[in-house]
Structure 1
């Protein structure tokens, strides 16, 4: 099992073409040119449209700030801090309106496979059966899996091509820490 740890603060932010924010690309799997899974953290500083990503499933979670309203035509979707990640079709390019100032957001994009992103319940085992798994945490804590453990700093992504039967657990140092599990099984090997 290979394990990758990436601290968001160590990744340089890339400005958006529309000037509405920046993205820190934490992971592209299997590589940056032909990825099937991408994890990023975005800082949204003003209202504007999302970019379309046809053929992808997207998950979006608010890490910091009040939240956003994503508009899919006439249908608004409120996404606020402390809520479950919102999943939508990457081909959609919703308009994004900030609720009360800038936000920092976690994004998972997946191509052709089975996947998910969900909130972590601290100290509770995660038994999802995916060939690729990740955890993003806003606070420090301890990641454990089948006898292995690692200390994680705040705003860190841990990603692994683990055994699908491996049990993961995250024990945050502060119970108010927000964290998310990510899982992906691609349709074909890279």
Structure 2
């Protein structure tokens, strides 16, 4: 399988019903109505509740702005652009308070399965050995990301997502100033 590449600028913004922001759905698999995973970028303009997604594990990373205070089922979390992505239960009642103005955030939502998903920041270099049955993704935020998949090289421009499913074993290396790495069990 080859890389699927999506540029943020090519995805139309969908306004939220509560008027608090917009979402750009970068990728979902297998289909929009019954997805197993979904990746999106949200521009949050106002504080307010998050939508609940029962049976979904959720990852949240601030890309731009001062950050947010998230209350997840009564537990407070301060999340800024320098913090590791936050993992939480998508079905939990979650309220978001902007710290100092609007934010841009990355969201990964995965239907719960026997193995957990993973998201982390790449600020420099990252390497991972993978086995079949994993979907991987890299989101290059404000700078280019170089992705080496075995001997194949991908230059991913800023504000772009690349994803693929690993068919066999593979060695992956990522070099970037600001990127997100994701793994989703297939």
Is TM (by shorter chain) over 0.5? yes
- Structure with greater strand percent: 2
Aligned residue number for residue 120 of structure 2: 118
Aligned residue number for residue 147 of structure 1: 151
Whether the 8 Å contact between 1:2 and 1:162 is mirrored in structure 2 is no
Correspondence 1:1-190 to 2 at 5 A: 1-113=1-113, 114=115, 115-129=117-131, 131-138=134-141, 139-163=143-167, 165-172=169-176, 177-186=177-186
Whether the 8 Å contact between 2:130 and 2:166 is mirrored in structure 1 is no
Whether the 8 Å contact between 1:122 and 1:169 is mirrored in structure 2 is no
Cα distance in structure 1, aligned partners of 2:23 and 2:80? 19
Structure 1: where are the runs of 5+ without partners?
Answer: none
Structure 2: where are the runs of 5+ without partners?
Answer: none
Distance of aligned partners of 1:83 and 1:4 in 2 relative to their CA distance in 1, 3 Å threshold: same
What TM-score do the two structures reach when normalised by structure 1? 0.90
What TM-score do the two structures reach when normalised by structure 2? 0.92
CA RMSD of aligned residues (A): 1.5
Distance of aligned partners of 1:41 and 1:147 in 2 relative to their CA distance in 1, 3 Å threshold: same
Residues matched between the structures, number: 182
Cα distance in structure 2, aligned partners of 1:143 and 1:7? 16
